[in-house]
Structure 1
Amino acid sequence: MKINWGTGLVIAIALFISFILYFVIKVQSNAKYDNELVVEEYYKHDARFQEEMERVQNAQDLKQKPVITLTNQGITIVFPEPFVPNQIIGKVSLYRPSNKKLDFDTPISLSNPTLLIPKSKLVGGQWDINMEWQYNGKKYLTKESIYIR
């Protein structure tokens, strides 16, 4: 049986489509390949974007900003001297882009200007830190990424 070029082209396209569909189904059905959104309720989060930008701008406008550093003990957040520690309220959210199960929140409850997130809670890799806090009725949002070895 002789196959002309038109039939060969149709067979090649059908094989290519089958190949692509096989991998799409394999990735969608295997739990190893997680394709969830990074943030729960993504669209509600996106609707509050303008409010979030105002809080980020408030944090950028500060003369003395909180300092987030990685130390041997873990992640330390130091608030500058003008802030009274027990009047700062909020939370620090740590997001692990590669694994949603490692995400956690830590409330900001201070008696001194330093907040420590222990290294025992942190797995090596990339961490996105979102610090939502309020002082004297003004809301702030500080975002930073840290890589832990």
Structure 2
Amino acid sequence: MKFNWGTGLVIGMGCFIGFIMFFVIKMSTDEKYEHDLVVEDYYGKELHFQQEIDAEKNLNLFSEEITGNKTNEGYELIFPETQGKIEGKVNLYRPSNKKLDFALPLELTEGKIVIPEAQLIEGRWDISVEMTYQGKEVLFKKSITY
């Protein structure tokens, strides 16, 4: 059989297609390359987006801003002095791995809450505090790099 440019072109295209198919199959079947949605119920969450905007606007009920800083114990969120009780929960979301997401009840001690260092792995975290204050829903969001 004679080897000419047409035969070489067909062999080259076959090798290229095989190479691409190998990586497509490897990426879709290997568990270390997980492809998850950012949020499980994406469309349901979008329906409540206006409520989130209104809850973020209610942050002006506080006399000062909520601040946070890194301490030896973990990450500390400091709330301003308030006239009423604050109830809610603190959600921590890890964009790179949903298995690390967790929530804590909002239990203030001297106007602050500490997120334990043992639960925080280095990297980016999105913190959202959903709370009720003076009968209104309030939402505080912050992204940190721990």
TM-score (norm 2): 0.84
Q: Which moved more, 1:14-23 or 1:120-129?
A: 14-23
Aligned to 1:107: 105
How many residue pairs match? The answer is 145
Q: Distance in 1 between matches of 2:57 and 2:72?
A: 31
Q: How much does 1:29 deviate?
A: 0.6
Aligned to 1:146: 144
Q: Distance in 1 between matches of 2:137 and 2:10?
A: 61
Is the 8 Å Cα contact of residues 94 and 104 (structure 1) preserved in structure 2?
yes
Q: Distance in 2 between matches of 1:100 and 1:29?
A: 19
Change (3 A) 1:14 1:74: same
Change (3 A) 1:62 1:3: farther
What runs of 5+ residues in structure 2 fail to find an aligned partner?
none
Change (3 A) 1:22 1:60: farther
Is the 8 Å Cα contact of residues 93 and 101 (structure 2) preserved in structure 1?
yes
Q: How much does 1:18 deviate?
A: 3.0
TM-score (norm 1): 0.83
Q: Distance in 1 between matches of 2:73 and 2:120?
A: 11
1:132 aligns with 2:133: no
Q: How much does 1:136 deviate?
A: 1.0
Change (3 A) 1:26 1:67: same
Q: Deviations over 1:25-66 (max 9, x none)?
A: 111111101211122212211221121122223226754121
Is the 8 Å Cα contact of residues 62 and 80 (structure 2) preserved in structure 1?
no
Aligned to 1:34: 34
Change (3 A) 1:8 1:41: same
The alignment yields a C-alpha RMSD, in angstroms, of 2.2
Q: Distance in 1 between matches of 2:52 and 2:13?
A: 48
